[in-house]
C-alpha cells in the first residue's frame, strides 16, 4: 500500500533543518497554542523528576515558561534559527534556570554518559532521522533511574483519522511534520535496549500521547 506508514522512510536531517528554518519566524504564533497542553504535561512530568533536565529539539524555548528554579535546563536543537529564538527568549532574564542552549543533533549528543536526571522530547521523536538512535543517546546521557519523557501525536492506527494520517504522511514530511509514527516503535526500542523500561503511556487531550521510560538503576553484567 503506497501510504502504509511502514513503507515511508524516516525524515532526513536535512529536510528537518530546511523545514525548521522556515518555521522559526512563525513557530511561536502558530504552534505555541496548538501544542500547549502537551508541552505542559511533559514539563510537569519532568518537574516531578527534577534536577538536571535536557530538552532535545528544544525549538524556540516555548517550554521555558513551564519550568522553575527547582530544575536546571539544557536545550539542544538541530536548527540554528530555532535555537537563536530560544536564546533570545532566555536573554530576557526570566529563565535563570536555563543553563545552556546549543545547536546539536540529538542522535549524537555531545554530553558524557549519565549527565542528566531527565531527558524531555516535546514533539520531536517522530521527526528525527533515526528515532531509535536518538532514544539510545537519551538513555546514555541519563543517570541510572533517570527518565525519558516524550510527548507527541502518535499514529492513530485505525479508523478514519488513521487513514487521513496515512494519506497526508508524505506531504507532511516536507513541512517538518509526521502524523503516522506508531507507538509500537517506541515500545520495541525499550524492549531491545535492555536498560530502558516503559513506565507510562497515557493520552493527553486533545490528541497527544505522553510516554515515559526509566533507565535501569543497575544492570547485570553476564559472568
Q: Return residues touching ligand SAM (CB under 6 A).
A: 13, 16, 20, 35, 39, 56-59, 62, 76-79, 82, 105-107, 122-124, 127-128
Per DSSP, what are the bridge partners of residue 85?
A: none
Q: Which of residues 49 and 125 has its CB atom nearest to ligand SAM in the complex?
A: 125
Closest C-alpha among 205, 199, 203 to residue 187: 199
User: Shortest gap between Cβ of 199 and ligand SAM (angstroms)?
Assistant: 21
Q: Which of residues 16 and 142 has its CB atom nearest to ligand SAM in the complex?
A: 16
User: Shortest gap between Cβ of 128 and ligand SAM (angstroms)?
Assistant: 4
Closest C-alpha among 86, 83, 153, 150 to residue 121: 150
Handedness of CA 184, 185, 187, 188 (dihedral sign): positive
For the chain, list the strands marked E by DSSP.
Answer: 51-56, 71-77, 98-103, 116-122, 142-152, 196-204, 208-215
Q: Which of residues 78 and 190 has its CB atom nearest to ligand SAM in the complex?
A: 78
Whether 31 and 57 have beta carbons less than 8 Å apart is answered as: no
Q: Which of residues 204 and 216 has its CB atom nearest to ligand SAM in the complex?
A: 204
User: Shortest gap between Cβ of 29 and ligand SAM (angstroms)?
Assistant: 12
User: Shortest gap between Cβ of 155 and ligand SAM (angstroms)?
Assistant: 16
- Cell numbers for 210, please give them: 505522553
Q: Which of residues 149 and 190 has its CB atom nearest to ligand SAM in the complex?
A: 149
Q: Give the whole-angstrom CA distance, residue 27 versus residue 69.
A: 26
| Chain residue whose CB lies nearest ligand SAM | 59
Q: Which of residues 71 and 79 has its CB atom nearest to ligand SAM in the complex?
A: 79
Angle at which helices 13-23 and 159-174 pack, to 10 degrees? 90
User: Shortest gap between Cβ of 112 and ligand SAM (angstroms)?
Assistant: 18
Q: Give the whole-angstrom CA distance, residue 180 versus residue 7.
A: 11
User: Shortest gap between Cβ of 18 and ligand SAM (angstroms)?
Assistant: 10
Amino acid at each position: 500500500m503506497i501510504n502504509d506508514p511502514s513503507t515511508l522512510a524516516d525524515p532526513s536531517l536535512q529536510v528537518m533543518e530546511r523545514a525548521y528554518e522556515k518555521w522559526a519566524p512563525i513557530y511561536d504564533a502558530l504552534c505555541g497554542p496548538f501544542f500547549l497542553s502537551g508541552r505542559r504535561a511533559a514539563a510537569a512530568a519532568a518537574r516531578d523528576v527534577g534536577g538536571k533536565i535536557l530538552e532535545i529539539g528544544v525549538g524556540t524555548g516555548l517550554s521555558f515558561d513551564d519550568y522553575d528554579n527547582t530544575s536546571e535546563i539544557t536545550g539542544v536543537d538541530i536548527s540554528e534559527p530555532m535555537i537563536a529564538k530560544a536564546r533570545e527568549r532566555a536573554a530576557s532574564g526570566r529563565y535563570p534556570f536555563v543553563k545552556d542552549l546549543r545547536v546539536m543533533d540529538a542522535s549524537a549528543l555531545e554530553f558524557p554518559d549519565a549527565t542528566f536526571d531527565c531527558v524531555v522530547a516535546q514533539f520531536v521523536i517522530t521527526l528525527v532521522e533515526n528515532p531509535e538512535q536518538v532514544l539510545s543517546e537519551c538513555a546514555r546521557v541519563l543517570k541510572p533511574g533517570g527518565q525519558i519523557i516524550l510527548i507527541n501525536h502518535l499514529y492513530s492506527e485505525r479508523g478514519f483519522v488513521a487513514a487521513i494520517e496515512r494519506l497526508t504522511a508524505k506531504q507532511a514530511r516536507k513541512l517538518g511534520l509526521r502524523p503516522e509514527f506508531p507507538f509500537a516503535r517506541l515500545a520495541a526500542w525499550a524492549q531491545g535496549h535492555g536498560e530502558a523500561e516503559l513506565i507510562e503511556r497515557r493520552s493527553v487531550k486533545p490528541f497527544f500521547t505522553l510516554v515515559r521510560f526509566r533507565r535501569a538503576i543497575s544492570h547485570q553484567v553476564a559472568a
